[in-house]
């Protein structure tokens, strides 16, 4: 039998942070109502609102990221409306058409890795001028992930400008925070958690990739989007009978700032890896300051690495391979040192 490799290919290779596991153990026999109408969900929502310093948001707990994107987007759009994103957007490339399944076009307006307010404005202006308007899907929502698929951040100013353009053209703005803890704890980040409700209409706080067994918390900031949101959860099959499991986990994530501690540990290790490899002359696909790093290695080095480590092959050409390495709540300095020593 081959020796077990160390998994660095993604941030969901293990169960959950021990504080979460302990809470699940401790509450296991307690009886509650089903479908999220329990005291744990209530407490978790309260906790998140406190941390957001904002009582004017609605919070719903969902199970998977794709389901969250699908439910949020389909709950907002009318049949003739679509959602704007970049080509590499998760909803465009890695959800097997989960958005289109609900009847909506994913409108790709750039193959750049990040959206800008200018791109959105240009697209909308062009659309408005179209004489064939009735023949064209109407953009109504802007989607981006923070950090994005390549670990990149948006600055507060960038998001503000995007949100401004959205409001100018009656678009909603949705931020996918599948890896939100790694954005908020990055040294390059200038956005506070409590800023988020003022930067968009709706966002989600990722749990699955940030230390929970599973779970994502949707935060609805715009009152218009609050009405009847819950029905969409049930009709898309995402209403957990034992909804308490989500409440228990998110309570722990936001108790004593665990969510941010998990993020910081992972980001610190990722930047340590980046700095060490850089010293050794390794180049990176993008300049990420979050928990995902994308070193570019030779084919030979790649083949060496994958004998000991599981990593994601991001892209390749004849000679070089870009790999993705992710840190998480469970990653230790020893692991990263072992990885760095491969070079």
35 binds a copy of itself (CB under 8 A): yes
Q: Which of 43, 46, 54, 108 binds a copy of itself (CB under 8 A)?
A: 108
80 binds a copy of itself (CB under 8 A): yes
63 binds a copy of itself (CB under 8 A): yes
Give the residue from 174, 173, 196 showing the smallest Cα distance to 183: 196
Q: Would you give the distance in Å from CA 324 to the centre of its chain? A: 16
Residue spans of alpha helices (H) in the chain: 18-27, 39-52, 65-76, 90-93, 98-101, 117-129, 156-168, 180-184, 196-199, 229-235, 244-254, 258-279, 299-308, 333-340
- Is the C-alpha dihedral spanning 67, 69, 72, 76 positive or negative? negative
Q: Which two tokens stand for residue 222?
A: 């715009």
Region near a copy of itself per CB under 8 A, out of 47-55, 70-78, 179-187, 258-266: 70-78
Q: Which of 113, 136, 282, 286 binds a copy of itself (CB under 8 A)?
A: 136
- The helix-helix angle for 244-254 and 18-27 (nearest 10°) equals 140
Q: Measured at the alpha carbon of residue 126, what is the angle toward residues 120 and 132, in degrees to the nearest 5?
A: 130
Q: Would you give the distance in Å from CA 37 to the centre of its chain? A: 26
27 binds a copy of itself (CB under 8 A): yes
Count residues near a copy of itself (CB under 8 A): 82
149 vs 201, beta carbon nearer a copy of itself: 149
Q: Which of 298, 313, 333, 337 binds a copy of itself (CB under 8 A)?
A: 313
Q: Which two tokens stand for residue 141?
A: 């929502």
Task: Give the per-residue contact string, 320-339, with a copy of itself (x = CB under 8 A; - = no).
Answer: ----------x---------
Given a contact cutoff of 8 angstroms between Cβ atoms, the answer to whether 220 and 14 are in contact is: no
Distances (CA, A) of 16 to 20, 27, 68, 253: 6, 16, 20, 11
Distances (CA, A) of 19 to 7, 38, 48, 181: 22, 20, 17, 16
C-beta of 21: minimal distance to a copy of itself in Å? 6
4 binds a copy of itself (CB under 8 A): yes
100 vs 160, beta carbon nearer a copy of itself: 100
Q: Which of 19, 49, 65, 148 binds a copy of itself (CB under 8 A)?
A: 65
Given a contact cutoff of 8 angstroms between Cβ atoms, the answer to whether 83 and 99 are in contact is: yes
56 vs 126, beta carbon nearer a copy of itself: 126
Q: Which of 43, 93, 116, 122 binds a copy of itself (CB under 8 A)?
A: 93
Question: Which residues, 187 to 246, sit near a copy of itself by CB under 8 A?
Answer: 208-209, 213-214, 228, 230-242, 244-245
Residue spans of alpha helices (H) in 37-116: 39-52, 65-76, 90-93, 98-101
> Do β-strands 58-62 and 216-220 pair in parallel, antiparallel, or remain unpaired?
antiparallel
Region near a copy of itself per CB under 8 A, out of 4-12, 112-120, 142-150, 280-288: 4-12
122 binds a copy of itself (CB under 8 A): no
288 binds a copy of itself (CB under 8 A): no
Estimate the share of the chain in helix, then strand, then coil, as percent rounded to the nearest 5: 45, 20, 35
Region near a copy of itself per CB under 8 A, out of 59-67, 146-154, 193-201, 250-258: 59-67
98 vs 144, beta carbon nearer a copy of itself: 98
C-beta of 225: minimal distance to a copy of itself in Å? 12
Q: Which of 1, 3, 55, 132 binds a copy of itself (CB under 8 A)?
A: 132
């Amino acid at each position: 039998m081959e020796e077990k490799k160390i998994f660095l290919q993604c941030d969901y290779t293990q169960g959950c942070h021990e504080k979460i596991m302990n809470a699940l153990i401790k509450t296991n026999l307690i009886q509650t109502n089903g479908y999220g109408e329990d005291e744990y969900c209530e407490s978790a929502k309260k906790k998140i609102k406190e941390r957001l310093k904002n009582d004017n948001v609605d919070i719903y707990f969902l199970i998977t990221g794709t389901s969250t994107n699908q439910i949020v987007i389909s709950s907002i759009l009318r049949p003739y409306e679509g959602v704007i994103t970049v080509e590499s957007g998760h909803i465009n490339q890695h959800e097997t058409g989960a958005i289109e399944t609900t009847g909506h076009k994913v409108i790709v307006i750039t193959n750049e890795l990040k959206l800008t307010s200018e791109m959105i404005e240009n697209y909308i202006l062009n659309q408005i001028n179209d004489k064939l308007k009735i023949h064209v899907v109407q953009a109504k929502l802007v989607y981006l992930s923070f950090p994005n698929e390549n670990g990149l951040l948006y600055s507060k100013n960038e998001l503000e400008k995007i949100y401004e353009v959205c409001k100018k053209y009656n678009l909603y703005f949705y931020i996918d925070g599948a890896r939100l803890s790694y954005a908020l704890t990055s040294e390059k980040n200038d956005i506070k958690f409590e800023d988020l409700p003022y930067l968009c209409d709706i966002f989600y706080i990722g749990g699955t990739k940030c230390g929970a067994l599973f779970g994502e918390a949707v935060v609805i900031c715009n009152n218009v989007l609050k009405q009847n949101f819950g029905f969409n959860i049930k009709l898309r099959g995402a209403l957990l009978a034992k909804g308490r499991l989500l409440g228990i986990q998110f309570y722990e994530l936001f108790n004593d700032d665990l969510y941010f501690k998990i993020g910081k540990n992972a980001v610190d290790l990722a930047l340590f890896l980046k700095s060490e490899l850089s010293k050794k002359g390794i180049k990176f696909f993008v300049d990420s300051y979050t928990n995902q790093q994308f070193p570019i290695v030779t084919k030979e080095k790649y083949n060496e690495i994958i004998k000991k480590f599981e990593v994601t092959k991001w892209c390749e050409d004849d000679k070089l391979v870009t790999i993705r390495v992710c840190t998480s709540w469970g990653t230790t300095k020893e692991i990263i040192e072992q990885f760095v020593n491969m070079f």
